Every structure is written in C-alpha cells, then in structure tokens.
Amino acid sequence: MNQLKKMSLTALTTMSLMGATVAVLPQSASATTSGIDTTVVDEKWGKPTFIYGGGLSESQITETEELLNIKNPENVAVGSVTGQDLINYLGEGSGNTSSMISSVLVQKQDTGEGVDVEIVTPENISQITQDQYANAAITAGVNDVKIEVASVSKVTGESALTGIYKAFDVNGEELDQERMEVAQEELETTNEIAQENNGNEEFDTAKFDQAIIDIKQSLADLKEQQGELATKEDVERIINEALEKNNLKNAVTQDQIDQLMALFEKYQQTSAIDSAEVKEQLKNLSNTVQDKFGDALQQAEDSGLVDKVGNFFSQIWDAIVGLFK
C-alpha cells in the first residue's frame, strides 16, 4: 500500500506538471511567416508600405526599420500615423501623436492568401496576439495582406490597427468607417477579456481567438438563413455555443459574455455580416488558428512528453494490478 501511495502522489505531481506544460504550449505556438521582402518591388501596391508611429524620434524610426528587416528603404513606401489619424479613422482619441509608437510594414498578397500577421517584437507587444490583430483587421475590411508589427518600447499595441488603416489609405484603398470603429472595439474587448484571464488555466488564448471567429461565422450564417439579424437572445446563444465548443465556458464570466454581446450586436450591424470576402478571410484565419492547436500537440510529442506520460501511467497501472496478484 505504501508503494501505491507513493505512486499516487507522484502521479498527482506529474499530472500537475503536465497540465502546466500543455497550457503553455498554445501560447508559444505561432504561425510561420516568410516575412515581407523589401529587396524587390511588388506590383500590387508597387512597394511594401511602412507606417511608423508618429511619436518616434528619427533614431527610433531607424531602429524600427531594422526590427522590420527593411533592407532596401528605397523599395518601401513610408508614412507616419498620427493622433489625428486615430480621430479620422476611429472617431475617437485625444489627437496626441506622442503616444503613437507601434509601427507596421504592410504588403498586399494574392487573392485567397488571407490576413497574415506577425508580431516582430513580442517582448514589447505582449498583450495582443497575432490572431487578435488579424481578426479585427478582417472586421475592418482588410483582406489578403501580410502585416508585420513592431515597437521599440513596451506598448499595449492597440494603435497598430490605425497604422494598418493608414497603409491602405495611402495606397488608395478606403475602408469603411463604421467597420474600422467596430474593429477597434473588438480588439480592445478581446484583449481586455484575455488579460482578465491571464493565469487562468481554463483559458486558452488561441481557442478564444477561434471562438471569436466561430461567433462571426454563426452570425453570418443566421443572417443568410433567416434573412434578418440575430436577436439579442440569438447573439447570447451563439456566443455561449462558441465558448462551449472551444472549452471556454468555465473560463469566461457572465460579465465578459455581456461585453461580447454588446460587441457583436454592433458587429452584425456592419456590412461585414454578409460579406463573402469576410467569410473567406475568416476561413483562412480559422485554419491558421487551428493549426496552433496541432502545433501544441506536436511540440509535446517532439519533446517526448506524450510518450513519457503514457509510459508513466502504464507503470502506475502495472503497479496497481501487481498489488492484487
């Protein structure tokens, strides 16, 4: 019996460590990206577009160019994003440019490629995920584009969306004002919920990103099937179903569900709700997000964790059976 007790205690310790390990893996997994090539001129926009935060000094702009691996500045269109841009695109803000630090490098891709976001400086933009950026950008009407985000200092990162809008604007592609405003609210709401669940073992950021995609897709399907927008009750049901599907029902509180309800009641009022383009972009993003679930399992397998855990519990079972022989 002492042997069984010892094995049981060891099992509990191992399961605890295993849970901690598996919980970390999805956070560290990221979509692979080849980066934006600034050594050639792309014919879609002519040049990749570098939009730097208007609050940066000249030396910081140069540092940001290096972070974004801009090798040939002459092959890149350059602009800045200001506090006034924030007001113009989002209808809010103080107009203070000094706080605009986040910068982006943007390049259009072939049709069907989807929205691909890479945070080049995750040590300085640690709150918002790549897929939160992509999800919100799709809401705003951004499509088939590669985006690299960087900051020379620690920032929350919400203003990077404004830089993306500015990149489209300077290339003659006008985005819908209402959708840009809802996209910003989406980024702020999803980030707030993710931060409130920081350290919660039942919350997984990648699965939450997928839940947001599922909610958008379900609202669009309902509109297509019924010919009308979802009721408040429909929105709440769809949100709960998405959370349940992604194993987040016990992590997200009712207050947070209420926040999501307020967001998606606004979302379905925009043209994004019945956009075939949005539907296609969300499908591509969903594939990227779900790949991360597989990446996490693959990391566990590559590290030998899965085999070790399986062998350990096999030994536990053999020990238990041995006690009754």
What residue ranges do the domains of the chain occupy?
A: 31-176
Cα separation of the two ends of the chain: 13
The whole-angstrom separation of Cα 23 and Cα 25 is 6
E strand residue ranges, the chain: 49-53, 77-81, 103-108, 115-119, 145-150
Q: Where are the alpha helices (DSSP H) in 141-231?
A: 160-170, 177-196, 205-226
Whether pLDDT at 155 is above 70: yes
**Whole-model pTM?**
0.79
Tokens coding 252: 């997200």
Task: Report the pLDDT value the prediction gives residue 324, as an integer from 0 to 100.
Answer: 54
Q: Which tokens belong to 229? A: 């927008």
Share of the chain above pLDDT 90, in %: 67
Lowest mean pLDDT among 47-56, 86-95, 195-204: 86-95
Token digits for 75? 């092959």
| Residue 105 half-sphere exposure toward CB, CA atoms < 13 A | 25
Reported residue count of the chain is 325
The pLDDT of residue 297: 41
Tell me if 235 sits within 8 A of 219, measured CB to CB. yes
Instruction: Please say if the pLDDT value at position 184 is more than 60.
Output: yes
Residues 127-153, mean pLDDT to the nearest whole number: 96
Q: Please report the pLDDT score of residue 191 as a whole number.
A: 95
**Which pair of tokens denotes residue 13?**
């310790």
Whether residue 125 contacts residue 101, with contact meaning beta carbons closer than 8 Å, is answered with no
Better-predicted residue by pLDDT, 323 or 117: 117
- Res 117: pLDDT: 97
Residues 6 or more apart whose CB falls under 8 angstroms from that of 60 comprise 152
Mean pLDDT, to the nearest integer, of 187-212? 96
Q: Reply yes or no on whether the pLDDT at 66 is more than 80.
A: yes
pLDDT of residue 45: 63
pLDDT at residue 18 in the model: 40
pLDDT of residue 24: 34
Summarize the confidence of residues 268-290 as an average pLDDT: 95
Does the CA dihedral 206-277-37-97 come out positive or negative?
negative
Query: Is residue 31 pLDDT above 50, yes or no?
Result: no
Helix, strand or coil for residue 54? coil
Please state, rounded to an integer, the average pLDDT across all residues of the chain: 84
Structure tokens that stand for 235 in this block: 């929105």
SS3 51: strand
Tokens 């539907």 -> residue:
279
